[in-house]
Amino acid sequence: MAKNVLLEVSVENVGGAQAAERGGAQRLELCSLLSAGGITPETELIPAVRDAVKLPIFMMIRPRAGGFVYSDAEFAMMRESIGMAKNSRMDGVVLGMLTAEHSVDIARTTELVRMAAPLPVTFHRAFDVSADLQQALADVLQTGAQRILSSGGAFDAFAGAATLATLRKSARGKIIIVPGTGVNPSNIAQVARISGAREIHSGLGSVLAYGSQDFAAFESEIRKMVTALDTCKK
């Protein structure tokens, strides 16, 4: 059974951030272009969201949509974005890099983790694209990242919950496994129970898809997830 599960919600505008805070989310992941999986937020959005909410904010560091193999120029952009995150009072960053062989790019990820310090780093769902999840876990551990956001290599975190539980046991408390993708009020309690996770991520893309401004519905769905997590407590 899960106990005191932290709910992180991804947002791409001020209205969504405020709705998430009102709904009971405990941390935000700030991105732009969530419809494509999220990229580095637009420069003007970062201080606007920081000033609008009190919640911890983890900022996405991803120079473009698409794959996770980056050029030297894109890597330089990621370095600059990390500097922006630190200067903008972000509380953490979210990133991920793979090699052409679909393994974790240990060297360049480690460089970014060190540059981000003391901000914690979440290795995002590039993890799920890697060729071998157990090897990817070992590789991410080498980088010094503090979290892995994952669906367990499945279409969504509910389908991958058992794999996430295995990964969490393999990690032996050395890194936090955060289930994410497809998490909603109807399945969040089961994802928490099966995976044993203490942190869960949701984007609720079906509620705020394609630039929707229905923040009341967004807030309502977050409240439902918080309530569902409360039922998991011992």
With beta carbons less than 8 A apart as the criterion, state whether 162 and 179 touch. Answer: no
Alpha helices (runs of H) in the chain, residue ranges in sequence order? 14-23, 45-52, 72-87, 106-116, 126-129, 133-143, 161-171, 188-195, 215-230
Is the pLDDT at 207 greater than 80, yes or no? no
Considering the domain boundaries, does residue 138 fall inside one? yes
- Phi then psi for residue 179, to 5 deg, are -65, 140
Considering the domain boundaries, does residue 183 fall inside one? yes
Residues 6+ apart with CB under 8 A from 97: 68, 69, 70, 75, 104, 105, 108, 109, 112, 126
pLDDT at 1: 41
Range of the domain at 215: 6-230
Give residue 60's identity as a one-letter amino acid code: M
| 209 vs 61, higher pLDDT | 61
Confidence label for 138 from pLDDT (cuts 50, 70 and 90): very high
Q: What is the pLDDT of residues 59-107, one digit of tens each?
A: 999 999 999 999 999 999 999 999 999 999 999 999 999 999 999 999 9
Is the pLDDT at 2 greater than 60, yes or no? no
pLDDT at 213: 76
Q: How many domains does the chain have?
A: 1
Considering the domain boundaries, does residue 33 fall inside one? yes
| Residue 202 CB neighbours (<10 A) | 27
Considering the domain boundaries, does residue 1 fall inside one? no
> Can you tell me the distance from the alpha carbon of 195 to that of 177, in angstroms, rounded to the nearest whole number?
9
pLDDT at 231: 80
Q: What is the pLDDT of residues 149-203, one digit of tens each?
A: 999 999 999 999 999 999 999 999 999 999 999 999 999 999 999 999 999 999 8
CATH classification at residue 216: 3.20.20.380
